[in-house]
Amino acid sequence: MGSTSAAGSIAERRHARSPARPAGDGGAPAVRLAVATLVGVVAAAGAVSLYLTGGTFAYPLDDPAIHLSVARRLAYDGTWGVVPGDFQNASSSPLWTLVLAPTQLIARGAAGEVVPLGMSVLAGVGVIRLLGPELAGLRPSRRRLLDAAAVVVASVGLLYLPALALMGMEHVLHMALALAAVLAVEARWAGGGWPTEAAARAGPAAGARAWRPWTPVALVALATATRFETGGLVLALGAALLAVGVPGWHDAAAPPPPRRQRLRGALALVGASAGTVALFGAVGLAFGQEILPNSVLLKSIGDRGDTRWTVGSALERLAADPLLVAFVVIAVAVLVATRRAAAQGRPLPAGAAFPAVVAVVAALVHAHLGAIEPSLRYEAYLYGPGTLTVLRALPLAQRALAVRGVQVSAAALLVALAPAAALQAKNTVVSPQHSALTWEQRYQVARFVAEAYRGQPVAIGELGYISLYHEGPLTDVYGLADHEVLEARLAGRDGPAYWRDLQRRRGFPVAVTYSFTLSADAPDDWIHVANWRSPDAWYEDTRFWATEPEEVDRLLALLRDFEPSLPDEVEVTYNELASLGASLRLGEGG
């Protein structure tokens, strides 16, 4: 028993005083490599994307174009929506849209479309710098290639930064704000956090002084304004604050702040998050719409999402992301090990306990209430706290192995997690292909509508590049940027009679939707004119409708003129009976 304790003590001293790691460098070599990896992968994937698209920049999803649409309308016209003068609660990330808006006044046109990518890369650098002290145990160099591999695994796999940046959306910023909030709450209200070498020399209050008293509240408010899923993180932070007093989950030499003080902090976080939602909700209500963005409301009726709120369905969703499962398992192991060691009178360093509680609770809440889908973007904000937990758990894992006579480096342990991030790595590799598909399908539809129906009203089944490029009224048959349509869909009134009446009132001569959109509800006097099929796309078929018989021949002519400019992969078919159907209806009208 004595030899076991001695082995553990030796392992701890080796970790704490490694001669290969200069104290106080903040993990600079690892940070530099992580940043270089992020920028390098993004640049390489971007180059491949441009090659596949013939030089046209496009995102793997067209959702970034939704934010750009709203940002440009806000910048140019002072309208929160996609059509000048028509307020619509169309953005699920208010802060990201607000930050984007002024950039679109400076970088116009195609240059402005690259701004979200640049902002995401900068946010990714912020995430890496926040984790700099935790990465200090890795010293990547030519002589320490395993450490270099571990840094790459952390940045590409565990943090998923390059793929998220390539999406050009708010998710990297959300991760940065969420991670900063965890660190700030821990430092200010949970007893100072992880006792790193630099903190040990500076004194126990150094970590708290790094964050101002109001910082945790401000970070939570900003994170909530970026994505409303932050509410789950707030619950997790509150749970972690209350759990700080559990034996083994805090530094035994420095008692945690009083429970009442920690409870006040938790309530302040809840108030900041709820207040932010209420603020944006009040704006929506003032314009006669809803508290939550339209996309959130649509998901409540199952629009492209799973609405089952059972324990079984939550576990099923959680299992769809093995990396999130790995974070939960590691966090639970940390909590069990530290608690058990404290009960046996040999407490372990408690720095991993706080983020571990956050990681477990936030993941379970998100799996129960949130969405997990193939792009892995909705839960990505949890990767920051999850990676923080892993990095802080490495010394504990090394100690546990050392007492059994096994010496394993932190880098080896980190690289061993690579299989759990296989989906993240795969998504990163295929990102250029997804950009090519966006260009092949949604970008081409947007280009056609913008050229053929400039200044005219159009009905569409997908926001994004269409709303970004089209100049003229838009009717969104999904309801993402059309509150009247949203109300009809929520009430179940979106049948053929509704669409026929809406077309008469708004006068759009064409509707462009996916094949499944309006497939059973399209009015029988709308004429299906043509299909564009992209076999590898998520939604393969784009359908063109003439909502008035007089429009059929014109639409056919416009589509035939445009066809030669389409990518070779697009399969075009025409309804050869469309003109006949239009003639018959015109004859009936006569």
Domain residue extents for the chain? 2-429, 430-589
Strands 527-533 and 541-546: antiparallel
> Quick one: pLDDT band at residue 570, thresholds 50, 70, 90?
very high
Instruction: Give me the mean pLDDT over the 485-493 stretch.
Output: 89
- The pLDDT assigned to 298 comes to 79
Is the distance from CB of 238 to CB of 216 less than 8 angstroms? no
Say how many C-beta atoms besides its own lie within 10 A of residue 343's C-beta: 11
Q: Which of 12-21, 125-134, 139-148, 539-548 has the lowest mean pLDDT?
A: 12-21
pLDDT band for position 398 (cuts 50, 70, 90): very high
User: How deeply is 455 buried, as exposed, middle or buried, from its count of CB atoms within 10 A (0-12, 13-18, 19+)?
Assistant: exposed
Residue 263 has pLDDT above 80, yes or no: yes
Confidence of residue 580 (pLDDT cuts 50, 70, 90): confident
pLDDT at site 295: 83
Q: At what angle do helices 171-189 and 353-369 cross, to 10 degrees?
A: 140
10 pLDDT band, cuts 50/70/90, is: very low
List of residues 6+ apart from 124 with CB closer than 8 A: 38, 159, 161, 162, 164, 165, 172, 176
Average pLDDT over residues 551-580: 94
Residue pLDDT, tens place only, 515-551: 888 767 889 889 999 999 999 998 899 999 999 999 9
Residue 9 has pLDDT above 50, yes or no: no
**Nearest CA-CA partner of 221 in 192, 263, 180, 164:** 180
Q: Residues for the chain: how many in total?
A: 590
pLDDT at 201 > cutoff 90: no
* Cα 477 to the center of its chain, rounded Å: 25
DSSP state of 582: H
What confidence score (pLDDT) does residue 427 get? Answer: 97
- Give CA–CA dist 372/419, Å, rounded: 19
Average the pLDDT over each of 483-497, 523-537, 575-589 and give the range with the smallest value: 575-589
18-27, 33-42, 396-405 — most confident range: 33-42
The runs of H, that is alpha helices, within 227-352 are 230-243, 259-286, 294-299, 311-319, 322-343
* Predicted local confidence at residue 312, as pLDDT: 84
Over range 9-17, report the average pLDDT: 38
Mean pLDDT is lowest, of 108-112, 116-120, 338-342, 347-351, for 347-351
Cβ partners under 8 Å of residue 301, min gap 6: 307, 489, 490
Q: Is the pLDDT of residue 198 over 60?
A: no
The pLDDT confidence band at residue 460, using thresholds 50, 70 and 90, is very high
List CB contacts of 377: < 8 A, sequence separation 6 or more.
Answer: 164, 167, 169, 171
pLDDT at 18: 35
pLDDT score of 268: 97
Collapsing DSSP to helix, strand or coil, 128 comes out as: helix
Contact between 215 and 165 under an 8 Å Cβ cutoff? The reply is no
Burial class (CB in 10 A: 0-12, 13-18, 19+), 223: buried
User: Mean pLDDT, to the nearest integer, of 121-149?
Assistant: 95
Per-residue pLDDT, averaged over 90-104, amounts to: 95
pLDDT of residue 192: 60
Tokens of 77: 């016209």
Predicted confidence band of residue 311 (pLDDT cuts 50, 70, 90)? confident
Q: Which of 199-203, 223-227, 369-373, 427-431 has the lowest mean pLDDT?
A: 199-203
Dist. CA 179–CA 157, nearest whole Å: 17
Q: Is 85 exposed, middle or buried (0-12, 13-18, 19+ CB in 10 A)?
A: exposed
Q: In the prediction, which pLDDT does 249 show?
A: 86
Q: What's the CA gap between 76 and 105, in Å, rounded?
A: 7
Proportion of the chain above pLDDT 90, given as a percent: 71
Structure tokens at 316: 């099923």
Mean pLDDT of the chain: 88
Exposed e or buried b per residue across 45-67, where buried means at least 16 C-beta atoms within 10 angstroms of its C-beta: bbebbbebbeeebbbbbbbbbbb
342 vs 42: which has the higher pLDDT: 42
- Cβ partners under 8 Å of residue 67, min gap 6: 91, 93, 96, 97, 100, 116, 169, 170
**pLDDT (0 to 100) of residue 25:** 57
Name the residue with higher pLDDT: 300 or 375. Answer: 375
**Is the pTM here over 0.85, yes or no?**
yes
Q: Which residue has the higher pLDDT, 25 or 359?
A: 359
| Predicted confidence (pLDDT) at residue 36 exceeds the cutoff of 80 | yes
> Sorting pLDDT into bands at 50, 70 and 90, what band is 247?
confident
Binned at pLDDT 50, 70 and 90, residue 307 comes out as low
Strand ordering across the sheet containing 474-476: 474-476, 458-460, 510-514, 541-546, 527-533, 571-574
pLDDT at residue 26 greater than cutoff 70? no
Residue 180's pLDDT is 97
Q: What proportion of the chain, given as a percentage, has pLDDT over 70?
A: 90
Does 14 have pLDDT greater than 80?
no
